[in-house]
């Protein structure tokens, strides 16, 4: 990191180097594989490498826990209705930070900042059950039209392997 610089400064400098070698790939916003991947924001998940994806292959939607929230439904709706995706892959992971939180976190924030957040923490104790809940939220949304290919997985942060979650268990 540059002397006196911030992490953001470092990222902007890296972008300048990237842009020097960049050439427009000539793609549009429609994913080549017609898939949207919803995953946790955890820094240990390199989704493109783990799934063998290239630039332009998919839409990637990430948040804390990879849970299906109203905003994820919003993104999936736009992805499917306006940008041609048909499949949804949900990826949670082992050792997720949301497993150690509770909804009491909202109380802590309210005590600290004087305002209660409108959003839910969406914490969970059972990662498989949370994947099932996320799959169900996608499948039952009236806004997401293509729900025949909605599958959920748990990424093992120690081995790099995906394990599919049976939606019926």
Q: Are 39 and 104 in contact (CB under 8 A)?
A: no
Residue that wins the pLDDT comparison between 82 and 168: 82
What confidence score (pLDDT) does residue 25 get?
Answer: 86
Q: Closest by alpha carbon to 40, among 70, 60, 11?
A: 60
Give the residues across from 150 on adjacent strands: 88
Percentage of residues of the chain with pLDDT beyond 70: 98
Residue 169 has pLDDT above 80, yes or no: no
What confidence score (pLDDT) does residue 24 get?
Answer: 87
Q: Closest by alpha carbon to 143, among 85, 97, 84, 78?
A: 78
pTM over 0.85? The answer is: yes
Q: How far apart are CA 60 and CA 57, in angstroms?
A: 10
What confidence score (pLDDT) does residue 2 get?
Answer: 52
Give the residues across from 91 on adjacent strands: 39, 153
Which domains are seen in the chain, by residue range?
A: 26-165 (3.40.1050.10)
Q: Which two tokens stand for residue 79?
A: 């992805």
Q: Are 49 and 74 in contact (CB under 8 A)?
A: no
Q: What angle do CA 77, 83, 87 make, to 5 degrees?
A: 65
Per-residue model confidence as pLDDT tens digits over 125-157: 999 999 999 999 999 999 999 999 999 999 999
Q: Are 79 and 26 in contact (CB under 8 A)?
A: no
pLDDT band at 58 (very low <50, low <70, confident <90, very high): very high
pLDDT band at 87 (very low <50, low <70, confident <90, very high): very high
């Amino acid at each position: 990191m540059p002397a006196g610089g911030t992490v953001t400064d470092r990222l902007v400098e890296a972008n300048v180097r990237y842009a020097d070698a960049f050439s427009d790939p000539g793609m549009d916003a429609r994913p080549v594989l017609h898939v949207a991947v919803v995953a946790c924001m955890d820094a240990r998940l390199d989704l493109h490498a783990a799934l063998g994806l290239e630039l332009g292959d998919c839409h990637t939607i990430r948040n804390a826990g990879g849970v299906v929230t109203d905003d994820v439904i919003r993104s999936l709706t736009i992805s499917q209705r306006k940008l041609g995706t048909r499949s949804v892959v949900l990826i949670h992971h082992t050792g997720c930070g949301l497993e150690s939180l509770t909804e009491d976190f909202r109380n802590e924030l309210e005590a600290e900042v004087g305002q209660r957040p409108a959003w839910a923490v969406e914490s969970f104790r059972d990662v498989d059950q949370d994947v099932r809940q996320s799959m169900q939220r996608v499948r039952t949304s009236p806004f997401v039209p293509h729900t025949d290919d909605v599958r959920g997985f748990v990424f093992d942060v120690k081995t790099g392997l995906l394990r599919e979650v049976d939606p019926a268990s």
